[in-house]
Structure 1
Amino acid sequence: MKKKVSIIIPIYSAETYIASCVQSLFDQTLADIEYIFVDDCSLDDSISILKRILEDYPARKGHVKIIQHKENRGVATTRNTGLDNATGKYIGWVDADDWIEPDMFEKMYNSAESKQADLVWCNFRMTFTDSSYENQQQVAEDSKVYLLSLIKGEMQGMLWNKLIRREIFLENQIRFLDENNLGEDRNVLIKVLFYCNNIIHLEELLYHYMQFNIGAITRDMTPRRVYEEINNTRDIVCFLREKNVSWIPDSDLQNFMFRSKRKLLYTTDLIHFEKWANIFPESNRLLYKSYLGMRHKIVGFLAIYKIKGPLRLWINIKKRYQTSKT
């Protein structure tokens, strides 16, 4: 029989944090949960720890799927594997280095059922080494308003504080963009919101987002990751244009494109500056009134007009400075 909720947990070398995550999952007050752990070729004992903890929860054993990739595929493909194996009426997401309140999915499921919601989201606490604060996720309970707030950068695009009706994914063939692992959740969330009729904000702190993991992909700002975010942005823009979404101002869409490529201006390789100028070129006019610092506006100008001599000089100075700091 179909479960009420499927929870998808991507795993990659999370042995330091996974115990508290798994315990909080198995301690959920909602009994009818399907757990889908997708191991993307972890290099540590994450799965051994998971299996050891599972022995303490015999009632959960029949509800657990552990799927292991034969090769490392990245979080986007890992999420797709989770979707392929989910059978619940609703889908939730938890990152392996976070933990959740024991009644999180019972409260979110009950809220979704009582109000016939396609999507429910809750508040969360961000915890750092020396501080923490609650993020209240305030936005109108309107899918268009929420979608626009994501485009404008006013809301973050995480999935782990959401419960989403699985039929939204199935009916509209919503998938993550394989091998593009930065901004992949925002890409999917925007598409989900486009198809949602009713969304609900549960004003309770139920998710704990832990910022101790220095290896987390969100901290990886290498050019490869920037291009992955750009690809997800391009996919979103194509989707919105194909759907003739006219209620998003073009100025907001161009700002969205500009923000996704801005980190290429922080690199130390001429090819990335050249690519920056040619990616979403219609957004280049926003350079001069952007929040970027003056030096990045200058190198952006040099890149747009292909003035390579000063660019090379800037790159050499930056490389020498970085070398001197190490």
Structure 2
Amino acid sequence: MIKETKISVIVPVYNVGIYIARCAQSLFDQTLEDIEYIFIDDCSLDDSIAVLKQALENYPARKQHIKIIRHQENRGVATARNTGLDVAKGKYIGWVDADDWIEREMFEKMYNTAESGQADLVWCNFMMTFADSSYENKQQVAEDPKTYLQALITGEMKGMLWNKLIKRQVFSKNQIRFLNGSNLGEDRNVLIKVLFYCNNITHVEEPLYHYMQLNTGAITRDTNTCRVYEEIDNTRDIVCFLREKNVDWVLDSHIHDFMFRSKRKLLNAIDLIHFEKWAGIFPESNGLLYKSTLRIRHKILGFLAIHKIWGLLRLWINVKKRYQTSKT
């Protein structure tokens, strides 16, 4: 009988040449030996993979446990994660972003915690690191799948995967995959589905992951209008899943608020079509506009879109475009 690998770590890679050396070193320095590393090169245009291979030269014992898979075209992080899942052999799946790094004992501690508690999912605290400061995010919620899932819907908890260790069987048995082409909120989408099928989850109260807010490309991508629609697609997929599974323990009011939050960034748009779409996407959530925490101007813009007062919206868009042009 072939011994099962303890952990498969999936690392999407795209243009992270200046960050990946530190990430790779922290991965290969892990105190847990039985780890499979799966790097998905999403058609990087820089030297990311060359830097990775150079870092690997310092860890000859790890070479037999490394898989580097290259996409022939850039397909996005959601598809890269799916590619990793398709080839992973570990009992548990771990996730690391290539511009972050982890503590040496992260996966050993999380694996031991999962095994001792017979957990389907383990999560840990993490450090938020900026150019001139850092702080610990404690990510505390009750160790109960339903409570955690509800916290993801309300926004009390964030949907990242990189501080999680998840039993691979949860993915394979329930055919959980990422929504190809929808690369914002893709991790939260999958995490909600994973939690629905989990029987037991537990928490390691140590900051074992370092989330680096230095990659401006990763930070600014969330403001791209196309990415907003990708987040909306993931939200729609989540809502459909919850309804198909008859999840009546998540309040409708929380789901409506979840819908509303997923489309709010469209109110920053400078094209009329996006305001038209904003009004038509999840229209059952539009009533939340007036009691939301949005700025007054966004509430006014939302009101104009709901009531199809396109003339005033065009005026606003023209003024905003002229102002932006004057600043360049």
Instruction: Return the TM-score normalized by structure 2.
Output: 0.98
Residue 173 of structure 1: aligned partner: 175
Classify the secondary structure of the residue corresponding to 1:176.
coil
Following superposition, the deviation at residue 74 of structure 1 comes to 0.3
What is the CA–CA distance in structure 2 between the aligned matches of 1:28 and 1:34, rounded to whole Å? 11
RMSD: 0.8
1:120 aligns with 2:122: yes
Residue 243 of structure 2: aligned partner: 241
Residue 251 of structure 1: aligned partner: 253
For residues 169-205 of structure 1, give each alpha carbon's deviation from its aligned partner in whole angstroms, at most 9, with x where no partner exists.
0000000000000000000000000000000010011
Classify the secondary structure of the residue corresponding to 2:290.
helix
1:158 aligns with 2:160: yes
Contact 1:182 1:218 survives alignment (8 Å):
no
**Structure 1 gap segments, 5+ residues each:** none
Residue 60 of structure 2: aligned partner: 58
Following superposition, the deviation at residue 218 of structure 1 comes to 6.0
Matched residues, number: 326
State the one-letter code of the partner of 1:112. Answer: A
What is the CA–CA distance in structure 1 between the aligned matches of 2:311 and 2:57, rounded to whole Å? 64
**Counterpart selection for 2:292 from 290, 298, 320:** 290
Residue 22 of structure 2: aligned partner: 20
**Counterpart selection for 1:104 from 103, 106, 110:** 106
Classify the secondary structure of the residue corresponding to 2:223.
coil
Contact 2:213 2:219 survives alignment (8 Å):
no
What is the CA–CA distance in structure 2 between the aligned matches of 1:230 and 1:143, rounded to whole Å? 24
What is the CA–CA distance in structure 2 between the aligned matches of 1:195 and 1:169, rounded to whole Å? 9
Contact 2:221 2:227 survives alignment (8 Å):
no
What is the CA–CA distance in structure 2 between the aligned matches of 1:72 and 1:129, rounded to whole Å? 29
1:207 aligns with 2:209: yes
For residues 58-106 of structure 1, give each alpha carbon's deviation from its aligned partner in whole angstroms, at most 9, with x where no partner exists.
1101100000001100000000000001000000000000000000000
What is the CA–CA distance in structure 2 between the aligned matches of 1:47 and 1:297, rounded to whole Å? 46
Q: Percent same amino acid at aligned positions?
A: 76
Residue 311 of structure 1: aligned partner: 313
State the one-letter code of the partner of 1:224. Answer: C
Instruction: Return the TM-score normalized by structure 1.
Output: 0.99
Following superposition, the deviation at residue 217 of structure 1 comes to 6.1
**Counterpart selection for 1:278 from 270, 277, 280:** 280
**Structure 2 gap segments, 5+ residues each:** none
1:74 aligns with 2:68: no
What is the CA–CA distance in structure 1 between the aligned matches of 2:21 and 2:267, rounded to whole Å? 39
